[in-house]
A and B are shown apart, each in its own frame.
Chain A
Amino acid sequence: MPTVGPRASAPTDRSPEMHDTDTTVTSNGDLAVDIAGLTRVEGEGSLRLKVKDGVVEQARLEIFEAPRYFERLVVGRTPDEVIDIVARICGICPVAYQMTAVHAFEHGLGIEIDPAVRALRRLLYCGEWIESHALHVYLLHLPDFLGYASALELARDERVTVEAGLSLKKAGNRIVELIGGRAIHPVSVQVGGFSRSFRRSEIAVLREPLTAALEVALQTVELVAGLDTPRFERAGRLVALRHPSEYPMNEGRIVSSDGLDLASTDWRHEFSEQQVGWSNALQSRDHAGRPYLLGPMARITLSGEHLHPTAASALARTGLAGEIAVNPYRSIVARAVELVDATAEALDLIEAYEPPADPGRPWTPGPASAAWATEAPRGLIFHAYELDDRGLVAHAQIVPPTSQNQAAIEADLAAFAPSVLHLPREAATLRIEQLIRSYDPCISCATHFLDLSVEAVR
């Protein structure tokens, strides 16, 4: 359709180092940096740091992604409509939303699913983990460690590396496309199972691309474990699901690094959402007001023994398990280990696959209190729905991982920033942004982008 025409005027690109950045040293020596437009994250927001006498007084993750009011949009909808609608909260992790909703409804309505359906759903979720982690490791995070503005620029010098990452991402997308019909906003997940069944031969075509992907995933662990990484040791609570025998994905109990152990339906017994004036995303904290961190670091630390043996040995070879528990910059290693885990598990599921006798179990709509938590690539995600007498949603609560991580990200930034404030502006900004990207914030999920500003207060 479009033919490319002449330009209206000369280009007015901002500095290649991105952002509207403004640094001022105030008369009393406090530093103020204003950066607008953190990139390589999903969605729109900013970071504001207030620094006095070298101490960060306040770190605020300001999220200004326009709200879309999903919890209101699902009111009056059927459970199957909700599964389609909540996918649209996030184009990167739609399966996480669909899985959390479908499990919540099935649990609330007392629907038992065919064990083969459970296996297919885990395979689907593995696909999303591979796609999302490969995207983050190669396209969003790796350029920080190697000093590039993007993976596209990295590809000019290291094309084979970026192609390897893309092949890994493609393997994950192949799974979602096959089971869900398309890579983004898949269509087949329904209460009771799937809208169709899959023959053994259909699933078997995934074996070859995933076998190749496993080799790439193993090399990815070596690659990222060898990256020059800033030192940082965070303190604070890690939270993830834990399953008695599996690496957590579709189900498990909510556990923490300090002994919490809670049914996944009971998230609200320990945590709650609060609104803060600087963000269009609600923030979650525990009832004592403490932040907590979700995601690959938390999962490996709390469920490392349930990693697939291939992933467990890859992690052991890095010797970084201890550092993964405390240094968010090492989350790229945690993601790479989970890439191995999800790929190896997917291969096992493909090998063992038998078509479900009952691909979609019939069920009767009715009233229910439905709640569940699963592990999205970015961390624990919780949904709760009240269904009325007609089986339609009367009330919904959707708690994405990034809104839960916000408070922990702010606390970590406040602790980390003083160590880089003496650096030249560009270097300090890069380190801080790289840290923010370490949490793989999905602002579209949390409502909602990042730009960074540091402000001196007197």
Chain B
Amino acid sequence: MEPQQLIMPGRRSPRADAPNRPRIGIVKFASCDGCQLTLLDLEDELLAVAERVDLVEFAEATSRRSMGPFDVLFVEGSISTAEQVEEIVRLRAVSHRLITIGACATAGGIQAIRNWFELDEVRDTVYPGPTYVESLAQARPVSDFVAVDGELRGCPISPAQLREFLVSMVTGRRAQLPDEAVCLECKRRGVVCVAVADGIPCLGPVTRTGCGAICPAYGRGCYGCFGPRESANTASLAKWFSDSRSAVEVGRLFSGFTAWSEPFRATIDAHGGPPGQRADGSEPRDA
């Protein structure tokens, strides 16, 4: 087989300069970059998508910048500083549709665990001179500050759901993002229930589908990274967990990447809060 040639004489794509492509922006606040990376991970579709939209703001991938306006703005990350509050309000005003992507933007993310702690104590633990470091008292989801037109869940978002969303966006139809429990996806995938068969605690019954039931398929319990599904009965699941565990351990199971979203948050509170409330690791409830 002839080796593939990496460099070929240039040939411009026909759609590259087409008029009236939607202006898309991708921005981030407090987050790991993983959700915007998911777009770059659509290796087979990325260049086709880039031809059909005008990607005017995506600092991780391009040096062209834009302050807006945007037809669709994708927002990654939680809002956790005063500057970020100002910026999300500005961005909302210049965006026709604002879509939050990922657990940080939709639910606060893992950093929202600190919402249960005192900020000064948290800062002292990480930084020797905390006075330089600015933070709000809580890391919160984007919807706490501005109206949100749609969301993609997950930590990180699912490539399949992002693909579905982008296709629906350019074709002008509604995206199919079902609100079912992970359990249904497990059944369809033919995965043996880890809770029933192995007694492994699993948040599948209360967690929204979309990931592909990865964790049960890999022999472990769902840790809720897509957040609660509609009318999730977390109290009932927590009671079931309580048969064989202490309150701290039940709270721990809900204290993951979407802990700050209701009703996970209420369930954690009902069990005395998340683990790690004291900086030295001791639990007030143990005393």
Chain A interfacial positions (CB closer than 8 Å to B) = 1-9, 11-14, 16-19, 37, 39-44, 65-77, 81, 84-85, 88-92, 94, 135, 139-140, 143, 149-153, 155-164, 166-167, 169-170, 173, 181-185, 187-188, 190, 195-196, 215-216, 219-220, 222-223, 274-275, 277, 280, 282, 388, 392-395, 433, 444, 449
**Known contacts A166-B46, A185-B225, A282-B127, then 5 further A-B pairs from the complex at CB < 8 Å, ordered by chain A residue:** A66-B77, A76-B281, A88-B34, A91-B156, A149-B63
Asked whether A72 lies within 8 Å of B211 as measured between CB atoms, the reply is no
* CB contact between A150 and one of B4, B62, B155, B215 (< 8 Å): that residue: B62
Asked whether A69 lies within 8 Å of B283 as measured between CB atoms, the reply is no
Chain B interfacial positions (CB closer than 8 Å to A) = 3-8, 10-13, 16, 22-23, 28-38, 40-41, 43-44, 46-47, 50, 55-56, 58-69, 71-72, 77, 80-81, 84, 94, 96-97, 99, 109-111, 113-114, 117, 122-123, 125-129, 132-133, 135, 139, 149-150, 155-156, 159, 165, 168-169, 172, 174-175, 177, 211, 214-215, 217-220, 223, 225, 252, 256-257, 274-283
Known contacts A2-B150, A4-B96, A88-B32; A67 and B6 CB within 8 A of each other: no
In the complex, how many angstroms separate the beta carbon of B219 from the nearest chain A beta carbon? 4
In the complex, how many angstroms separate the beta carbon of A282 from the nearest chain B beta carbon? 7
- Chain B neighbourhood of A173, CB < 8 A: 41, 43
Asked whether B114 lies within 8 Å of A69 as measured between CB atoms, the reply is yes
Asked whether A275 lies within 8 Å of B129 as measured between CB atoms, the reply is yes
In the complex, how many angstroms separate the beta carbon of B21 from the nearest chain A beta carbon? 9
A sample of 18 cross-chain residue pairs with beta-carbon separation below 8 angstroms, ordered by A number, consists of A1-B165, A14-B66, A40-B59, A43-B33, A76-B277, A76-B281, A84-B223, A91-B156, A135-B37, A152-B62, A160-B4, A163-B47, A166-B43, A183-B41, A184-B38, A185-B156, A187-B220, A444-B33
Asked whether B12 lies within 8 Å of A156 as measured between CB atoms, the reply is yes
- Chain B neighbourhood of A223, CB < 8 A: 6-7
Known contacts A88-B110, A163-B47, A187-B215; A13 and B125 CB within 8 A of each other: no
- Chain B neighbourhood of A88, CB < 8 A: 32, 34, 109-110, 155, 257
Main secondary structure, interface of A, reads: loop
Known contacts A72-B126, A94-B34, A167-B43; A215 and B3 CB within 8 A of each other: yes
Q: How far is the CA of A118 from the CA of B281 in the complex (A)?
A: 31
In the complex, how many angstroms separate the beta carbon of B101 from the nearest chain A beta carbon? 12
Q: How far is the CA of A162 from the CA of B44 in the complex (A)?
A: 11
